[in-house]
Structure 1
Amino acid sequence: MIVKYRDAEIHFTSQGSGNPLLLLHGFMESSKIWEPFVPTLAEQRQVVCIDLPGHGESGSFNEIHSMEDMAKAVKEVLRHLEIQKAAVAGHSMGGYVSLELYKIFPTLLKSLTLVNSSPEDDSEERRINRERSVKLIKKNKEAFVKMAISNLMMPENYKKFRPQVERLIAEASKMSVQEITAATRGMKIRTNNVQSFAGMKLPKYIIAGNDDPLMDIERLKTLANTTGAELIQFSGGHLSYIEEEMALLKFLHFIE
């Protein structure tokens, strides 16, 4: 299905009925990452999966896709589906978008789950690295895609889940240079949402991989403690939906 946001086509799927659950993918991913989860989850509720702007089948509308703009595109899908409230789970960048969705439309969320994600903004070092990434993407997109995705888990898990990782790389390689850089710069300029996350009066969770190379587990423990979120620790790295598929499915099955 398709809706329009800023003249771009936003693709999404909706299966099941009642008690909506919104699933958002991360950077250089698409709604396809949730395909193993949807059939089981949709047996008991409505499950909505969206290709965020510039990802999957969705179009691009700007040189920078801010997290705020992505959140507004998500809201357009929910408006089309006449969804007034939903449980929301976002992987990595999808978590950043979920936090913006709450800030702009606070009554929309029933609960929020950050999967391998954080309410913090980029450090200065991370912002510098984002710009370096943009230069590499423009110089050699294929090399950047392969390096960025293969580094999201420990070497032993990369070997174990190599077919799944190679599918991710193949899908990400379909993105244009502009689409990848637009999301990269959007993440670079995102705001710090720790205070907003702490102030949420709704169930909130942080799912963390013990060996996540991007999200330090000790830092996430501190954030969970200071914001009142429940921390769920999984083994593995940044791709919990692959590395701990059954554990994540079990969690998503019960969140309200």
Structure 2
Amino acid sequence: MTGTPAWLTDALAADVELGVVEVDGVAIHYRAWGKPGNENGIVFVHGGAAHSRWWDHVAPFFAGDRRVVALDLSGHGDSGRREEYLMARWADEVLAAAAHGGAGPNPLVIGHSMGGMVAITAARLRGTELAGAVAVDTPFWEDQPEEQAAGAQQAFGPLRRYPSREAALKRFKLIPEQDGNDPAIHAHIAETSLRAIDGDWNWKFDPNVFRGRGRPVPLELPRCRVAVFRAEHGLVPPDMGERIAERLGRVVPVVEIPLAAHHVMIDQPLSLITALRTLLADWTHSEPHRPEA
């Protein structure tokens, strides 16, 4: 890729392992970096209609002294499909991928958009098994942008088949769309979002993920450390960030990624990596503050 910065080329070329674990009868695929067995590994969770490879250029920056796993939730990427998609089951998939992929015990779960809801659900239901959870530009109390587009029949309808990879790539777009994306990252994500079927091409996600999966569990006092990242020009305005902190007992840092739009890892990846590294450094050397009774 002409003009691709060296840091991105190196990240995409990093050694990665592929794995599969079965959860409730469905094969869950994941990618893993770093040596297994280190305590407090990391699991990255993608957003709606996305997949594990949205993290290919981010995960290697955390694999120096940690095991890092990025999974395809059921209905996404290379993982199998279900009759019904529920946040609690996706949370189980996250913990199963962490354990099978060597990121346990007590992994940190980092989720973007809908994946942030999965991370917070995991913290709510299985927080004693986590080192913490981070939600990245997750608009709580509102429909996810993918749900809105599906409901308005603007996207995520029955999957179309395209006669060639090139024809499909011309139709790829982000939901919501945004300016300022790194073209190489955008191209990598688009290219890894396709699969070949009987000589045709279509997208890897199941459109049914946006139908009938139920709302996430309510925000309550966390059973593990929790942080909220919001993009300056994303879907979580400052007042929503304050509401989230209030609901979680005001022990939750709310961190703004400057200049970023919703898909932070595509337009401001280094700022996201720096913010996450800073948070991890703090959490490694500090004691969690508990809310007052």
Q: Report the TM-score range of the alignment, normalised by the length of the smaller protein.
A: 0.7 to 0.9
> Which of 162, 176, 181 is the equivalent residue of 1:151?
176
Deviation at 1:78, TM superposition (A): 3.0
The 5-angstrom pairing of residues 237-256 of structure 1 reads 237-254=261-278, 255=280, 256=283
Aligned partner (choices 230, 255, 280) of residue 232 of structure 1: 255
Q: Note if contact 2:41-2:104 (Cα within 8 Å) is conserved in structure 1.
A: yes
**Contact kept? 1:11, 1:51, Cα under 8 Å:** yes
How far is the alpha carbon of 1:7 from its aligned partner?
Answer: 2.5
- Give the partner amino acid of 2:218: N
Note the C-alpha offset of 1:226: 4.4
Give the aligned residue type for 2:61: T
Larger helix share, 1 or 2? 1
Distance 1:182 1:52, change over 3 A: same
Offset at 1:117?
Answer: 0.9
The answer on whether the counterparts of 2:134 and 2:229 sit within 8 Å (CA) in structure 1 is yes
What TM-score do the two structures reach when normalised by structure 1? 0.79
Task: Judge conservation of contact 1:30–1:51 (CA < 8 Å) in 2.
Answer: yes
1:211–1:217: 8 Å Cα contact kept in structure 2?
Answer: no
Superposed counterparts of 1:1-256, under 5 Å: 1-14=19-32, 15-16=34-35, 17-62=38-83, 64-80=84-100, 81=102, 83-120=104-141, 122=143, 130-133=150-153, 137-138=157-158, 146-147=172-173, 149=174, 151-153=176-178, 155=179, 157-158=180-181, 161-174=182-195, 179-185=205-211, 189-194=214-219, 196=220, 199-212=221-234, 214-227=235-248, 228=250, 229-234=252-257, 235-254=259-278, 255=280, 256=283
Assess if the C-alpha contact under 8 Å between 1:210 and 1:237 holds in 2: yes
Contact 1:137–1:177 (CA under 8 A) maintained in structure 2: no
Are the equivalent residues in 2 in contact too, given 1:22–1:47 (CA < 8 A)? yes
**Matched residue type, 1:68:** A
Distance 1:202 1:118, change over 3 A: farther
Change (3 A) 1:6 1:97: same
Say if 1:7 and 1:61, in contact at 8 Å, map to a contact too: no
Q: Residues 166, 133 of structure 1: CA spacing in aligned structure 2 closer, same or farther, 3 A cutoff?
A: farther
The aligned amino acid for 1:208 is: R
Deviations 1:131-163 (A, max 9, x none): 3348861286879x745x15342x3x14xx344
Contact 2:52 2:77 in 1 (8 A): yes
Kindly provide the CA deviation profile for residues 37-75 of structure 1, in whole angstroms up to 9, marking residues without a partner as x.
22231112121211111222211122x322222112222
Q: 1:97 to 1:150 in 2, by over 3 A?
A: closer
Larger radius of gyration: 2
Residue identity (%): 19
Q: TM-score when scaled to structure 2?
A: 0.70
Query: 1:107: how far off?
Result: 0.8
Q: Measure, in 2, the Cα distance between the counterparts of 1:139 and 1:48.
A: 28
- The aligned length equals 244
